[in-house]
Amino acid sequence: MRMHDVIVIGGSLAGAACVRELERMGIDAIALERERFPRPKVCGGFLSPSAVNCFEQLGLADEIRKAGAVQVSSARVRVASVEVEILFERPGLGVSRSTLDALVACGARVEQGCPVHEVKRSGRVFHVNGMECSVVIDAAGKLSRFTKRRSVDEFGIQYVETGTQGPVLNFWFFDDAYGGSVSIERGRSNSCFLVKKDGLRRYIDGRDCLVTGPLAYDRLPGDFIAIGDAAGMVDPFCGEGMRHALETGMLAARVVAWGVRRGASYAEMKGEYETEWTRRWAGRRMIGAMIRRLLSHPLAFGFALRMSPARLLNRMWD
């Protein structure tokens, strides 16, 4: 029987960042990923300046740039008749998830093509896919079978087109959808929209696009240490989902490495991680939820945008 200190379920951004960090700290960890990379994924493809910073910490930022990621230095946001230009204090990057996820998993202990169907526990030991470990981390994303959640009537759609947006993140708000386009590698643009269920058919008709959903922002208390979207989705408008995945992956790695070395119980590690998660992310998620509510009132949102958009974004990305 194979044994590890830590098994991570899911080897996309959160899972791969977590096992990379655990390995760096000398902990025996493995991520089990059901898909094989590269694979497409519904995502806006915009790495906020803080997400780029996380990749600097992981030592991967230069590789991502070399893979063709495009520097993004401003956003152009349109709501009804309002158009606002927002200059970023630090640049972000545009990159496809097929390129990005493959790059982050490459060289990390991510076993691909390994779906996890069930986790059993006896005392301090977890049993996962015929292996044993003392810590399980859920990095299986927003639709994970391992978390309970409240879904909303919103879906994500994404498509890739030839031609670029230059260094600008273009954003549009409509009554039943919002989303944006960003330049990605090989002279292409990645477009991604969040669409209300009733309008879905209108947006996908005749398009070669990927669809995901229904989306769920709120996660209900779960059994495992959860990182990335498995810990609760950050509103895509914030451009912070990937940063949340990377940061929480690295945070869980630090807490778990500390716990494994001291022989702490799983409950202690989970408690410590959740306290730190709340300290770092509860405020940002509140801003995200506020913006989401504002989005259902385009006039009020247009007014707020005219007030101090750069301050709001840079506050979120600090």
Ligand X SMILES: Cc1cc2nc3c(=O)[nH]c(=O)nc-3n(C[C@H](O)[C@H](O)[C@H](O)COP(=O)(O)OP(=O)(O)OC[C@H]3O[C@@H](n4cnc5c(N)ncnc54)[C@H](O)[C@@H]3O)c2cc1C
Our CB check for ligand X shows the closer of 70 and 264 to be 70
Judged by CB under 6 A, the residue of 245, 250, 252, 269 near ligand X is 245
Contact 110, 33 (CB under 8 A): yes
Can you tell me which residue has the tokens 């495009």?
70
Judged by CB under 6 A, the residue of 59, 107, 113, 115 near ligand X is 115
Asked if 228 interacts with ligand X (CB under 6 A), we say yes
Contact 44, 243 (CB under 8 A): no
What is the smallest separation between the CB atom of 243 and ligand X, expressed in angstroms?
Answer: 6
Asked if 235 interacts with ligand X (CB under 6 A), we say no
Judged by CB under 6 A, the residue of 49, 232, 236, 259 near ligand X is 236
Interactions with ligand X, residue window 130-189 (CB under 6 A): 139-141, 144-145, 156
Judged by CB under 6 A, the residue of 242, 257, 305, 316 near ligand X is 242
Our CB check for ligand X shows the closer of 49 and 236 to be 236
Can you tell me which residue has the tokens 């956003």?
75
Our CB check for ligand X shows the closer of 40 and 283 to be 40
Our CB check for ligand X shows the closer of 15 and 302 to be 15
Asked if 99 interacts with ligand X (CB under 6 A), we say no
Asked if 192 interacts with ligand X (CB under 6 A), we say yes
Judged by CB under 6 A, the residue of 21, 240, 247, 272 near ligand X is 240
What is the smallest separation between the CB atom of 24 and ligand X, expressed in angstroms?
Answer: 18
Rounded Cα–Cα distance for residues 74 and 185 (Å): 18
What is the smallest separation between the CB atom of 272 and ligand X, expressed in angstroms?
Answer: 20
CB-neighbour burial class of residue 32 (10 A; exposed 0-12, middle 13-18, buried 19+): buried
Token pair for 267: 């409950």
Rounded Cα–Cα distance for residues 195 and 197 (Å): 6
Q: Which residue has the closest beta carbon to ligand X?
A: 228
**Short-list 180, 174, 189, 134, CA closest to 157:** 180
Our CB check for ligand X shows the closer of 133 and 264 to be 133
Residues that bind ligand X (CB under 6 A): 9-10, 12-15, 32-35, 42-46, 51, 115-116, 139-141, 144-145, 156, 192, 194, 212, 215, 228-230, 236, 239-245
